[in-house]
Structure 1
């Protein structure tokens, strides 16, 4: 057992932030208790059996509705998790050591600067990874019941991050970015704010770009007043929809909502013969996750490399 015990700067880091580690564990247990309790509450009301034999939650099932709302908020929480992880690493873990000068004490204990930083980064990485995996597992328990409902589809923000590998990649990138910012800024609050800003920008940019990496599929169909709009095949993510003219030109679906003409007259005047829908099928989920995760891991590797180069320049 002694060989498995933490030693040197690793023991110091865990001892120094043991309350934070306990708080992280308590957060995971609290999330499990809340989601598990809501699943039990939901199970007290039997589902309705539809004429086709399928089952759907009963209208009076307050447990189901509460679970759905809770999972909606949990999805937003998973998006913010990397920002909080990065801010903690940048501020209390790294920058505060330089701001207070306590890092000098560690370096006087026969600990090289690189070993000191490595201990902090690896400890933070292990704790953040464990917390993230635990929260992802809890999210899966709740989401499996409400998947496919409003704002809880596989491609929606929140479920997309928490049900794949990309959330873990975001957290690893946040640890590396927080380490680099903490070494550069060396002021606790400023480092926390800067890291939160950087990770917020990364999250926003990648979130807006993720569905442009793979080509969309397209379905077309005839257009008349009886057919109605086209539906996305399967459980796909609709990206665009509109009308097709006889020449094959695409026009907006709302272009025949003119107040002065009836829809049928507008369709005839613009020579509309069909409609189209661009979409991403569910089969694009894992390739998109891997592409985005690869970008984040590359960012994490670059930030970690830069952090150790900065440390070597300032503390040779």
Structure 2
């Protein structure tokens, strides 16, 4: 009998997971802390507000904690973009690690696909989990929370927009890394672009569409972000293909 060999696509994906294991560990730790903090709000702080000893301080406390968590979760995409542009793509192009991989029967397109797949799966799963838990806590404890759904600290993390923003951040970081080929410039550009997207899509929608409600806004923003994500990824693959073809012809 012969042993089954790993598929060509699986090999680069396993290499990516090994290379970026610290980042995946950090992401897992962040998920545990964020989910734990949300559950703490639901199980301890919200009930304490319903039967307060000092109503002013308890109310301030539970809202401050929930608002802080909403702000943190809504800006996760900016950190993802910075990491993607610098560590995932830019650093490997800058150091020549990517070109070394391309000489070992891994095409540039397969290399980039493996990078994106290995990053997208845990990021999508994790941001989906955070969105579901945040939405559940905010909805269940609405009687003790004063934040309106249209405020960005609720609107962004409480629905599919949060997942779309993370995927857009991954695409923006990828495009910046491929276009610039250097870690630090790609980090700065990707983070700035994603921050701008988060600000625009998370701004107070009452001032833009006063007659809109939560789900129409969420679905509209998510659709636009996914379209931008597809465009950024298409541009990244096209640019990578052109650059590697030019270098290959020069050699």
Q: Shorter chain as normaliser: what TM range?
A: 0.7 to 0.9
Q: CA RMSD in A?
A: 2.7
Question: 2: CA distance between counterparts of 1:91 and 1:148?
Answer: 43
Unmatched 5+ stretches in structure 1: 48-56, 217-279
Structure with greater Cα Rg: 1
Task: Tell me by how many angstroms 1:285 deviates.
Answer: 1.6
1:189 correspondence with 2:184: yes
Q: Is the contact between residue 151 and residue 204 of structure 2 (CA under 8 Å) also seen in structure 1?
A: no
Question: 2: CA distance between counterparts of 1:122 and 1:163?
Answer: 25
Question: 2: CA distance between counterparts of 1:185 and 1:149?
Answer: 48
Change (3 A) 1:286 1:110: same
Question: 1: CA distance between counterparts of 2:208 and 2:12?
Answer: 42
Question: 1: CA distance between counterparts of 2:144 and 2:98?
Answer: 50
Matches within 5 A, 1:260-279: none
Matches within 5 A, 1:1-316: 7-42=10-45, 45=48, 47=50, 57-58=51-52, 60=54, 65-147=60-142, 152-208=147-203, 210-211=205-206, 214=209, 216=210, 280=211, 284-316=213-245
Q: Which residue of 2 aligns with 1:253?
A: none
The answer to which structure has the higher strand fraction is 1
- SS of equivalent to 1:8: helix
The TM-score normalised by the length of structure 1 is: 0.68
Change (3 A) 1:201 1:95: same
* Paired positions, count: 240
Q: What's the CA shift string for 1:105-135, capped at 9, x where partnerless?
A: 2112211110000110121111211221122
Q: Is the contact between residue 82 and residue 171 of structure 1 (CA under 8 Å) also seen in structure 2?
A: yes
Task: Tell me by how many angstroms 1:4 deviates.
Answer: 9.8
* Structure 1 segments (4+ residues) deviating >6 Å: 2-6
Unmatched 5+ stretches in structure 2: 246-251
Q: Is the contact between residue 147 and residue 154 of structure 1 (CA under 8 Å) also seen in structure 2?
A: no
Question: 1: CA distance between counterparts of 2:150 and 2:188?
Answer: 29
The answer to which structure has the higher helix fraction is 2
Q: Which residue of 1 aligns with 2:249?
A: none
The TM-score normalised by the length of structure 2 is: 0.84
